[in-house]
Amino acid sequence: MYKPTSFVFSVVLLGYFAFTIPSVAQAEVLVAQAKNPQLKQLLEEGRRLVDTGDYGGAIAVYQQAARLAPKNAKIHSGIGYLYAQQGNYQAALTAYRRAIAINPNNSDFYYAVGYIKANLGDTPGAKEGYRRAIQLNRNNVNAYLGLL
């Protein structure tokens, strides 16, 4: 039989990997959808910086992109993702809240809020984020795993 801490660690680790996979594909979609040439250039530069592991530089570039397209929830969620990768969960939470304010029906954004709140030690807040993610998308497996 597994110890409870081993099980929790496994679930968190599984959630971590699941959390990181969609954002890479999302960045490619953002670049492809950009109509403004300056915005497209910034998104491509941000993507390049992410690929080289320069998350701080990528955040700065994506913040410029967010000023050009302030109602683009995916840019804000990308910033949140990068802050979370750096372990700056407060800044990540702020960025995801901006994304949710723009697009309150995105299950992935609420999942990310649950993930971030779990990392901040806010278990009730994490559960709330995961539940909202499930309400919006009953197939959000990661949110179900977060509730375990």
User: What is the Cβ-side half-sphere exposure of residue 98, based on CA atoms within 13 angstroms?
Assistant: 21
pLDDT, one tens digit per residue, over 72-98 is 999 999 999 999 999 999 999 999 999
Q: Phi/psi of residue 53, each to 5°?
A: 90, 10
Task: Output the pTM of the full model.
Answer: 0.77
The pair of three-digit structure tokens given for residue 49, joined into one six-digit string: 């910086």
Summarised one tens digit per residue, pLDDT across range 10-25 is 334 344 444 443 444 4
pLDDT at 74: 95
Residues 6 or more apart whose CB falls under 8 angstroms from that of 35 comprise: none
Give me the count of residues in the chain. Answer: 148
Residue with tokens 């977060």: 146
Query: What pLDDT sits at residue 36?
Result: 84
Question: What DSSP designation does 29 have?
Answer: H
Mean of the per-residue pLDDT values of the chain: 84
Query: Can you give the pLDDT at residue 34?
Result: 58
Share of the chain above pLDDT 70, in %: 77
Q: DSSP letters of 46-68?
A: HHHHHHTT-HHHHHHHHHHHHHH
* Cα 123 to Cα 88: distance, rounded to the nearest angstrom: 18
Could you write out the three-class secondary structure of 107-144? Answer: HHHHHHHHHHHHHCCCHHHHHHHHHHHHHHCCCCHHHH
Q: What is the pLDDT of residues 30-46, one digit of tens each?
A: 544 557 899 999 999 99
Alpha-carbon distance of 42 to 37, in angstroms, equals: 9
